[in-house]
Amino acid sequence: MNLLVVQDEAPVASFIKRRLEAEGFAVRTACDGAEGLKLSRSFEFDLIVLDLVLPTVTGEEILARLRAAGSSVPVIVLTAQDAISDRVSTLNAGADDYLTRPCSFEELVARIRARLRTADQAVSTTISYGRVTIDVGTRAAHIGGRSVELSPREFTLLETLIRHGGQVLSQAQLLDQVWGYDRDPSSNVVEVYVGYLRKKLQRDVVETVRGAGYRFRG
């Protein structure tokens, strides 16, 4: 697996590179945002570990440009910024996971492997359930032949629900699979995004199972 690590501190980037290579990954590094963006466009990476605070081009801008270009490469943000607002805005912009430094290297590797497993499962680009069809390659969604425009987070939630069509998924399961990090159990972010999907698709596509979670009906 080929990974790109974009971190502004050279010693940190070097440490991560050595440790990931010891885990069997092929790793390229960049300590500058412009260089990281260039590498991300020049080579096919299986996953990117991205800092937010970078010289010349910020991590947020790199992420925005990747997603605007249609790239679905998994991106794990690894940064010292730990504000909830930073987490929310970055994940909504298309990041797949968010870790704050310092963190254990073992946790970083576990998050990387989890995201790579998810990416492997998405090899089949078109998935259908009931009236809804999505293409995970182009991130397009249709219901009954009608095209629906979704944000990156809405699409990821819809993809997760479709892959478990007919099954009940708890709020905790959806938080883990879609947002990828621990959140206050009292947060209503899942309910909010389910509401977005119902509004853009149809209200009956996602059923609320009282006390248990949500079931995709399609």
Quickly state the pLDDT bin for 107 (edges 50, 70, 90): confident
The 8 Å CB, 24+ separation contacts for 206-212 are: 206/161, 209/168, 212/168, 212/170
d(CA 38, CA 50): 14
Answering whether pTM is above 0.75, one says: no
Domain boundaries, the chain: 2-121, 126-216
Most confident of 84-98, 134-148, 193-207: 193-207
Mode of pairing for the β-strands spanning 132-135 and 126-129: antiparallel
Fold of 126-216: Arc Repressor Mutant, subunit A (1.10.10)
User: What are the φ and ψ backbone dihedral angles of 160, each rounded to 5 degrees?
Assistant: -60, -45
Q: Are 216 and 176 in contact (CB under 8 A)?
A: no
Q: Is 67 helix (H, G, I), strand (E, B) or coil?
A: helix
d(CA 159, CA 181): 18
pLDDT digits (tens, 9 = 90+) for 11-66: 888 888 888 888 888 888 999 989 898 888 878 788 999 998 899 988 888 988 88
- Beta bridge partners, 77, equal 50, 98
Q: Which CATH architecture has domain 2-121?
A: 3-Layer(aba) Sandwich (3.40)
pLDDT digits (tens, 9 = 90+) for 117-161: 876 554 557 888 889 999 877 889 999 889 999 998 899 899 889
3-state helix, strand, coil in the chain (%, to 5): 45, 20, 35
The enclosing H or E element of 146 equals strand 146-148
